[in-house]
Amino acid sequence: MKKSTSLIALAASSAAFITALVLPSVALAELSFNVGAVSDYRYRGISQSRLKPAVQGGVDWSAGPFYVGAWASTIKWIEDANPASSNKVEVDLYGGYKGGITKDLAFDVGLLTYQYPRHKAATSPNTTEIYGALTFGPATLKVSHSLSNLFGFVDSKNSTYFDVTAAFEVGPVTLTPHLGYQKVAKNGDFSYTDYSLLVSKEVVKGLTVSGGVVGADTNSIAGTKAYASPANGKDLGKTGAVVGVKYAF
């Protein structure tokens, strides 16, 4: 009887301890939404919308250091590459854990999956990556590694993307320079460097406008750019101006 009582007491104490750890995070849980539009949806320097406008939106939930979220955007490249597809939307689902290491150094690790419903591609464009990032002051170094084929490239599992981005407050605006390198495993002709320089400003609470220049230094294959649009032959990584607006609430 004493042994059973002790076990019950131990279980109760453990449950109380776990509850004490979890409840503060739940109490501080936050849910937020965002909607927006861009003149050209660029991802890692490559246009996903055939250099055309896109509508976007997402939802995020966080509790302490844990977070999950979903984000979506209209796209054109799936249908352009596979006319039999009826896909017009990219849906991203993600979750992770982030926190501080020192006063000026923070980390972020997580899992992100890109989904393209109703695609008809022979090699699925659906992609899953793990990522890790370190932020020191205004600069962030992030590495993303694919656990699947990368965006429809055959045998491209274990592709890696390296990303260095910073954010500087310059008077009333935020200046965001970026440099990245996408290594496409076993598809070297499609590896490339991308870059951007964006300026953004919150004009009213929750409403941010942005603009800048973005592009990618891609290879040419037999005289054609590696990321030329199947629809019109235009280079989807060409340097160009982009503008956007986003409302967070």
Assess contact for 92 and 70: CB atoms under 8 A. Answer: yes
| Distance separating alpha carbons of residues 168 and 198, to the nearest angstrom | 11
State whether CATH 2.40.160.40 applies to domain 30-248. Answer: yes
**pLDDT score of 28:** 81
| Distance separating alpha carbons of residues 81 and 86, to the nearest angstrom | 11
**pLDDT score of 8:** 39
List the structure tokens of 33. 């939404």
Sequence ranges of the domains in the chain: 30-248
| Distance separating alpha carbons of residues 43 and 20, to the nearest angstrom | 41
Give the pTM.
0.89
Per-residue pLDDT of the chain (249 residues; tens, 9 = 90+): 433 434 334 444 444 444 444 444 556 899 999 999 999 999 999 999 999 999 999 999 999 999 999 999 999 999 999 999 989 999 999 999 999 999 999 999 999 999 999 999 999 999 999 999 999 999 999 999 999 999 999 999 999 999 999 999 999 999 999 999 999 999 999 999 999 999 999 999 999 999 999 999 999 999 999 999 999 999 999 999 999 999 999
| Distance separating alpha carbons of residues 215 and 240, to the nearest angstrom | 6
